[in-house]
Amino acid sequence: MAEKFGKERVVVLDGYTLNPGDLSWNGFAEIGDLTVYDRTDPDEVIDRIKEATIVLTNKTALSEVMLKSAPKLRYIGVLATGYNVVDTAAAAAAGITVTNIPSYGTMAVAQMTIALLLEICHHTAHHSEAVFKGEWARRKDYCFWDYPLIELDQKVFGIIGYGRIGRQAAKIARALGMKVIAYSRSAKDPEIVSLDRLYSEADIISLHCPLTAETDKIINDQSISKMKNNVIIINTARGQLIDEEALASGLNRGKVYAAGLDVVSLEPIRPDNPLLQAKNCFITPHISWAPKESRQRLMEIAVNNLKQYLTGKPDNLVT
């Protein structure tokens, strides 16, 4: 028998990145009167949520002032893992339940981590483009390469943050013949080492930690100075984990061999971001979470979160 819910007013503030048209919102439509906005500017939020009982947001911020403007609001579903876009203290004070999606993209983000690393090792896109421009056809030899090519076997893969994604990245790294070491405040695995040891031993450093006061700009001038020469840095976690001026400097002077980044401190990236002018820096537009399979999983978890809340058994609670 189909579940029955009360007539809710459900508003999605920024649905486009989750569902640009290849998924379905039907799970939410079955719960109530659904309105989906592709994007919502800050000055549009109050008007759009004022009558809502349920609000879903990905990156659209919900401040205390905004929440106070929505007296009927009882539930906020964050369509992502990070929930800093919501003033959770104000939500709790107003009796508004907040949930998030903690583990939908583990495989996809770990895959992207290694994709960035392999691109650095082989410059696949560049060499393919060179072939299609006729460069290979003009050569006298049967092969050519424009950049040093790197074999990963026996390299040391250092992971900062050893949760679900970090562990999956470690699994792939081991399959490629790498030795894994990791830094974590909570994990007790045999590969756990001190942060200073990780900096000094790792050939590749991959970031998989949450953004906290401790990890804000954890990659900076001082930490880079402790790293091996020609270290490779990968970030598929949060852009604010990196001091971008420091990383650009490390790349341009050759201390850091390369960086593969799927996130930056301000998104969309600003034209004056120093990393856009840095040597051997690969930047993708925050797509590690975005394979269709991953987004479908996120959608299903978000619908289930709301159903669990409405049946009195909330899951993935933030407040």
What is the distance between the alpha carbons of residues 4 and 29, in angstroms, rounded to a whole number?
12
What is the distance between the alpha carbons of residues 319 and 75, in angstroms, rounded to a whole number?
10
Per the listing, tokens 């006061």 go with 213
pLDDT above 50: residue 1:
no
Q: What is the pLDDT of residue 4?
A: 58
Between the two ends of the chain, the Cα-to-Cα distance in Å is 31
DSSP structure string for 161-226? --SHHHHHHHHHHHHTT-EEEEE-SS---TTB--HHHHHHH-SEEEE-----TTTTT-BSHHHHHT
Report the candidate in 148, 157, 145, 156 with the shortest Cα–Cα distance to residue 121. Answer: 148
Residue 91 lies in a domain: yes
Residues 61, 129, single domain; the answer is no
Domain of residue 39, CATH code:
3.40.50.720
Q: What is the mean pLDDT of the chain?
A: 97
Candidates 44, 129, 151, 267; catalytic one: 267
Question: Which structural domain, as residue segments, surrounds residue 298?
Answer: 8-104+292-310
**Tens digit of each residue's pLDDT (9 = 90 or more) over 120-158:** 999 999 999 999 999 999 999 999 999 999 999 999 999
**Tens digit of each residue's pLDDT (9 = 90 or more) over 5-18:** 668 999 999 999 99
Residues 208, 62, single domain; the answer is no
Residues 221, 96, single domain; the answer is no
pLDDT above 60: residue 43:
yes
Total domains, the chain: 2
Residues 97, 149, single domain; the answer is no
Residues 214, 153, single domain; the answer is yes
Residues 24, 139, single domain; the answer is no
Q: What is the pLDDT of residue 5?
A: 66
Judge contact between 318 and 78, C-beta under 8 A: yes
Per the annotation, the verdict on 48 as an active-site residue is: no
Residues 84, 151, single domain; the answer is no
Report the candidate in 53, 104, 60, 51 with the shortest Cα–Cα distance to residue 78. Answer: 60
**Tens digit of each residue's pLDDT (9 = 90 or more) over 87-96:** 999 999 999 9
Residue 318 lies in a domain: no
Range 166-191 average pLDDT: 97
Q: What is the pLDDT of residue 45?
A: 98
What is the distance between the alpha carbons of residues 155 and 174, in angstroms, rounded to a whole number?
10
Per the annotation, the verdict on 267 as an active-site residue is: yes
10 Å Cβ neighbour count for 103? 13
Residue 319 lies in a domain: no
Candidates 9, 123, 286, 297; catalytic one: 286
Residue 203 lies in a domain: yes
Residues 230, 159, single domain; the answer is yes
List beta partners, residue 78. 57
Query: Could you tell me the pLDDT band of residue 3, with boundaries at 50, 70 and 90?
Result: low
Residues 119, 51, single domain; the answer is no
Per the annotation, the verdict on 286 as an active-site residue is: yes
Q: What is the pLDDT of residue 7?
A: 83
For the beta sheet containing 281-283, the strands, ordered from the edge strand earlier in sequence to the opposite edge, are: 179-183, 156-160, 204-207, 231-235, 256-261, 281-283
| Token duo for residue 64 | 């205390």
Helix axes 106-122, 124-132, angle to 10 degrees: 60
Residues 69, 110, single domain; the answer is no
What is the distance between the alpha carbons of residues 257 and 199, in angstroms, rounded to a whole number?
14
Tell me how far CA of residue 256 lies from CA of 18, 121, 159, 204, 281, in angstroms: 34, 14, 16, 10, 10
Residues 189, 248, single domain; the answer is yes
Residue 115 lies in a domain: yes
Range 197-224 average pLDDT: 97
Judge contact between 259 and 247, C-beta under 8 A: yes
pLDDT above 50: residue 272:
yes
Range 282-311 average pLDDT: 98
Residues 72, 119, single domain; the answer is no
Candidates 123, 238, 295, 297; catalytic one: 238
3-class SS at 125?
helix
Per the listing, tokens 């933030």 go with 318
